[in-house]
Structure 1
Amino acid sequence: MSTIEALYIFDENNTPLLEHLYNNRPPPPSTLLPLYLAHPTPRPPLIYLPNTNPSTLLYSITQDQLLFLCPCSTDTAGPLQILEFLHRVADAFEDYLGAPLLASKIEANYDVVAQLLGEMVDGGVVSCTEPNALRDVVDAPSLLKGLLGQVGLPSNTPSLGGGGGSSAFSLGGIGMGASPRLSPSGAMGMGSGSAAQTASPVPWRRANVRHTSNEMYVDIVETLHVTISPSGRPLAAIANGTIAFTAKVSGIPDLQLSLACPGGIANAIALPVFHPCVRLNRWKERPGELSFVPPDGRFVLAGYEVDLLGPAALDAFSTASTKSGPRLNIPATVSVQTGLGPAAADFEVRLLLNPRFTGKSHLSGAAASLSGRARGGAGFASSSSAAPGTTGAPTIEDMVVHVPLPAAVRNVTDLRVLRGAGGEAVYAPGDRAIEWRINGREISALMANDRGSGTGAQATLRGTVVGADVEASDDLDGGPVSLSTNTYDYDEGGASYQSRSSSAEDAKRGAGAGAGATDAEKERKKNKVLMPSAATLGFSVKGWLPSGIKVESLGVDAKMSRGLGSGVQPYKGVKYLCVARRGVECRC
């Protein structure tokens, strides 16, 4: 089992902010920080330091420019457990102090931070990291300061640290041993008797949860990663999904969530991960059914990965026919044409939008009412026409086309958007990429101008690349320095030497072969290396998931639930969102 020996936190200026000792005698932060900074960036999350006494494994994460370090003198069986602990500490701080996590917030709430660190680790062993369980034993900063004032203690005292007998807490270099902990009920004591009596039987859920309005929300977010070859054939297409659940239900509810997708959940989802509240046996017996007792509030219920090309994609790639290749139904694609114009210095970026994602319902009757369900009452709401941003009418929001440029490009001239697509193409001389941004309103106008052709709206960006002219540059004016390629033949006495220009000899040697080369051909060859080689596309789509996963039902098991009340039907809602941040890469 992994042992947590200490936790050190540094601010954005690498100034020691907090020191909490749990076990053994690890090296101090003044020794570990220089050794950590000595490694070049990007620094790995696990660094072995053999020159310390004893030899130390140093775990680290960075959260909101704050550096978290955790030393360990023994080789642990689960190094990921310590890294996960550091992430849990950062999440707990954000839950209590608010995001983003700043050094000033930690300094102003040392009492809360000390209690959290004492409860999360007991004698070096991770004990409690669930947010709802911590809420049962550690009060929020405003409540805690009010209780401190009632018992006659200063509200900013840091003497409430140390949950275990072997832990110590240090603020600004002042160390303190274990001290009495203030329980949420306001009683002082070393133990946790009152907290244990009111603790929830479910570790991840708070005790005695009460809500005036019972609500449950399911938000499924998928991140798209697609690579397309120059011929337009998809090479890889992966969707990483996250199921975020918000439960504001009284008592201890037992919920059932059913998922479905074309081809079956078992064949689509790969590498699933679940919150500890999910009953794994139920999922193994019936894939697609999630049975769980949720934590109170918002949490990540599950994560998964979907291969959009399917298992038959490898066989399709081996065939010579392009018709049998895998196809994707994604909101938009982009292609790049290079070497245009008389001097082959022009390029063209063409954006093609899928006509399905117009934001208008393409269904009618009962089909539209089923696909338009979003937020609803006791069940899922349905209407005769799907609203924009739902499954019946998915809408594309802000779109960004990113065109990286070679390092030899000095400028891009005559950068313009054709076909009246709108949007804004941003480039400054010396930049390494072009950003073409189109907002949701311009996308809707572009699709409306398509006039229902069914092929999809198109927009084109065109520009001309300009390379660095080395021959015209002047070294005295700060231009690029040209290094000579001349070689010299010396005699043994050193009295004389003769210069021999390799470039001149190469020119004479190739004079006969290159006599027919024109200046235009040389210019085209020069501009060929200045052309972009790919373009990436980023967007977000409301009401659509690449994997096709849907929520079929969400219900409460009345027999297994406790404290909800008879006849109570929670308000339910489902939303789908696809995000691709430079997720679609089209090569040329």
Structure 2
Amino acid sequence: MSAIEALYIFDEQNDPLLEHIYTGRPPPGSTVLPLYLAHPSPRPSLIYFPNTNPPTLLYSIVQDNLLFLSPSSTDTEPLQVLEFLHRVADVLEDFLGSPLLASRIESSYDTVAQLLSEMVDGGVIACTEPNALRDVVEAPSFMKNLLGGVGLPSSAPSLTPSATPFSLSSRPSPRLSPTPTNTTSPVPWRRANVRHTSNELYVDIVETLHVTIAPSGRPLSAISNGTIAFTAKVSGVPDLLLQLGCPGGIANTISLPVFHPSVRLNRWKERPGELSFVPPDGRFVLAGYEVDLLGPAALDSFSTSTKSNAGPKLNIPATAAILTSLGPTGADFEVRLSLNPRFSGKSASPLPSATGPSFPRSGGLGRGIGGSGFAAQGTTAAPVIEEMIVHIPLPASVKNIMDLRISRGPGDIAYAPGDRGIEWKINSREIGALMSTDRGGGTGATATLRGTVVGIDEDENLDGGPVSLSNNPYDYDDDQSLSSYQAPSEISAKKDEGADARKMKHNKVLMPSCATVSFSVKGWLASGVRVEGLNVDQKKSKGLGAGVTPYKGVKYLCVSRKGVESRC
């Protein structure tokens, strides 16, 4: 069984925040930190140090610029220790607030110490669920810390239960003791006695898109990673059933699913697409999955016997094609951005909702990610593209980009001489105006960016650089000697052709090799996964109340962070 020996947390300047020893005699943080920093970057999550006594495995993660380290001198399960470090960071964010700052940890050492003690017992991982930890550890607050500092009773437990030594009265002062919990929740991941004035259930499905497109325009790979975030604000202990569907069937579409411990796996195995669970209180990640958008037969389309137009096709919001070595000297390049007309935000025909009027797909009443309301646009029937960024990485030998301009289309260019990339930004308003130029042709809108590359040593090597002379006076070139008998015009033409050839060869290595597109689309998922229904089992649920119908909302969001890459 894996044992957690110690936990060390360091701030942005690698100064120690806390050290918590669970078992054994692990090397201190002052010893493992220099060894960790001495390892060349990028540092892996698991590093072995054979020269320590005893030899040590060091597990590490970085979250919110804070470094979490856990040394181990025994044989452990690597994924379990790394998952524990992630759970520690998530629990601290849940109690102290997000983002996790060093100042928040320093001002709440008592709460952090209680959390770390409850999460691990004698080196064995015990409890990592935030809802269960809230039953035994109270979250800090400004007023509670203030009242405790002046000696007034508060709901926070006191570290000294005896009478106050500075009491002026002969009567014993009231003892500050932890507030006992009346009942313990039968569900480990849910708090006991949950009460909400407004009962609400929200489903947020977010997919991250990763697509690689060959120079011919054929997609090489297309993967969509999905996360189902669930927010439950329901009294009592509700028993829920979430039904998912997609055009090709959930079993044939979703691969590598992962679930929250509350999900009943037997129900999913018997009926793929049905998630039966008792949710924790608040927001949590219900499930995750991966979808291959090209399908299992994608490799067959790359065989020599298959026609080029019979390859897999993707219906993604935007792609960028890049053309290089343009112009008389091959120093120009062009980036063409193509937008899919389906994502103009206009609905051709309304789609019926499968969940009824009390369960909107993506509208103004549901709550989305981060607790904010939906926008007026971006529904399932009319998905809309948010701000788009086209990134063009440049080789290190590029000194500057001359005549950089948007020849057709809107947007702003972010580039300075010496930058390793060009960013072409188009906001949502400009995307809408560009979409309107399609005129209903169905081909979509396009925008073009052009530029001319300038190399670092271009002036010295191509325009009258130093001439190298041979040390041997009898060494000459036959072609060079014959050129003296030719006409001056022919000699000049050949020199120009040779110079242009050298310039084209030199500029070829200065061309960008790819272009990536970043965007977000509301109301659309690349995999086609959708919520078919969300039901509350009144018979199995407890404490919900007779006749109470929770409000239900759902939101879809597809995100690409340099995920659509077009190579040239």
Equivalent in the alignment of 2:177: 187
1:322 aligns with 2:308: yes
Equivalent in the alignment of 2:218: 233
Written as runs of structure 1 = structure 2, the 5 A alignment for 1:46-57 is 46-57=46-57
- Secondary structure of 2:205's partner? strand
Equivalent in the alignment of 1:344: 330
The verdict on how the C-alpha distance between 1:511 and 1:391 changes in structure 2, with shifts beyond 3 A counting, is farther
Q: Percent identity?
A: 67
Q: CA deviation at 1:144?
A: 5.2
- Secondary structure of 1:106's partner? helix
Q: CA deviation at 1:525?
A: 2.3
Q: CA deviation at 1:307?
A: 0.4
> TM-score, normalization: structure 2?
0.86
Alpha carbons 1:375, 1:572 under 8 Å: kept: no
Alpha carbons 1:338, 1:344 under 8 Å: kept: yes
Equivalent in the alignment of 1:331: 317
Pick which of 33-42 and 362-371 moved more.
362-371
Higher RCO (CA < 8 A, seq sep 6+): 2
Equivalent in the alignment of 1:570: 550
The verdict on how the C-alpha distance between 1:111 and 1:364 changes in structure 2, with shifts beyond 3 A counting, is closer
Equivalent in the alignment of 1:64: 64
Equivalent in the alignment of 1:10: 10
Alpha carbons 1:399, 1:538 under 8 Å: kept: yes
Q: For residues 13 and 298 of structure 1, what CA distance do their matches in structure 2 show? A: 32
- Secondary structure of 2:377's partner? coil
Q: One-letter code of the match for 2:395?
A: P
Q: For residues 291 and 512 of structure 1, what CA distance do their matches in structure 2 show? A: 88
Q: For residues 367 and 27 of structure 1, what CA distance do their matches in structure 2 show? A: 59
CA RMSD of aligned residues (A): 3.2
Q: For residues 154 and 440 of structure 1, what CA distance do their matches in structure 2 show? A: 50
Q: CA deviation at 1:317?
A: 1.2
Q: One-letter code of the match for 2:81?
A: I
Q: For residues 16 and 256 of structure 1, what CA distance do their matches in structure 2 show? A: 45
The verdict on how the C-alpha distance between 1:377 and 1:414 changes in structure 2, with shifts beyond 3 A counting, is closer
Unaligned 5+ residue runs, structure 1? Answer: 161-184, 379-385, 474-480, 487-497
Alpha carbons 2:322, 2:515 under 8 Å: kept: yes
Alpha carbons 2:147, 2:154 under 8 Å: kept: no
Alpha carbons 2:355, 2:533 under 8 Å: kept: no
Q: For residues 522 and 121 of structure 1, what CA distance do their matches in structure 2 show? A: 67
> TM-score, normalization: structure 1?
0.83
The verdict on how the C-alpha distance between 1:246 and 1:340 changes in structure 2, with shifts beyond 3 A counting, is same
The verdict on how the C-alpha distance between 1:389 and 1:365 changes in structure 2, with shifts beyond 3 A counting, is closer
Written as runs of structure 1 = structure 2, the 5 A alignment for 1:533-552 is 533-552=513-532
Cα deviation digits, residues 256-299 of structure 1 (max 9, x gap): 00000011000000000000000000000000000000000010
Aligned length: 528
Equivalent in the alignment of 2:293: 308
Equivalent in the alignment of 2:138: 139
Q: CA deviation at 1:188?
A: 5.1
Pick which of 33-42 and 298-307 moved more.
33-42
Q: One-letter code of the match for 2:266?
A: N
Cα deviation digits, residues 122-163 of structure 1 (max 9, x gap): 111111110100111111112753774697699999969xxx
The verdict on how the C-alpha distance between 1:444 and 1:66 changes in structure 2, with shifts beyond 3 A counting, is same
1:266 aligns with 2:251: yes
Equivalent in the alignment of 2:488: none
- Secondary structure of 1:47's partner? strand
Equivalent in the alignment of 1:178: none
Q: CA deviation at 1:450?
A: 2.1
1:395 to 376, 379, 384: 384
Equivalent in the alignment of 1:242: 227
The verdict on how the C-alpha distance between 1:259 and 1:233 changes in structure 2, with shifts beyond 3 A counting, is same
1:556 aligns with 2:536: yes
The verdict on how the C-alpha distance between 1:537 and 1:470 changes in structure 2, with shifts beyond 3 A counting, is closer
Q: One-letter code of the match for 1:545?
A: L
Alpha carbons 2:144, 2:156 under 8 Å: kept: no
Q: For residues 543 and 254 of structure 2, what CA distance do their matches in structure 1 show? A: 34
Alpha carbons 1:346, 1:462 under 8 Å: kept: yes
Q: CA deviation at 1:387?
A: 5.7
The verdict on how the C-alpha distance between 1:368 and 1:148 changes in structure 2, with shifts beyond 3 A counting, is closer
Q: One-letter code of the match for 2:392?
A: V
Alpha carbons 2:364, 2:376 under 8 Å: kept: no
The verdict on how the C-alpha distance between 1:509 and 1:297 changes in structure 2, with shifts beyond 3 A counting, is farther
Q: For residues 42 and 364 of structure 1, what CA distance do their matches in structure 2 show? A: 50
Equivalent in the alignment of 2:169: none
Written as runs of structure 1 = structure 2, the 5 A alignment for 1:307-456 is 307-318=292-303, 319-364=305-350, 373-375=361-363, 388-419=377-408, 421-456=409-444
The verdict on how the C-alpha distance between 1:39 and 1:585 changes in structure 2, with shifts beyond 3 A counting, is same
Q: For residues 377 and 539 of structure 1, what CA distance do their matches in structure 2 show? A: 24
- Secondary structure of 1:209's partner? coil
Q: CA deviation at 1:512?
A: 8.7
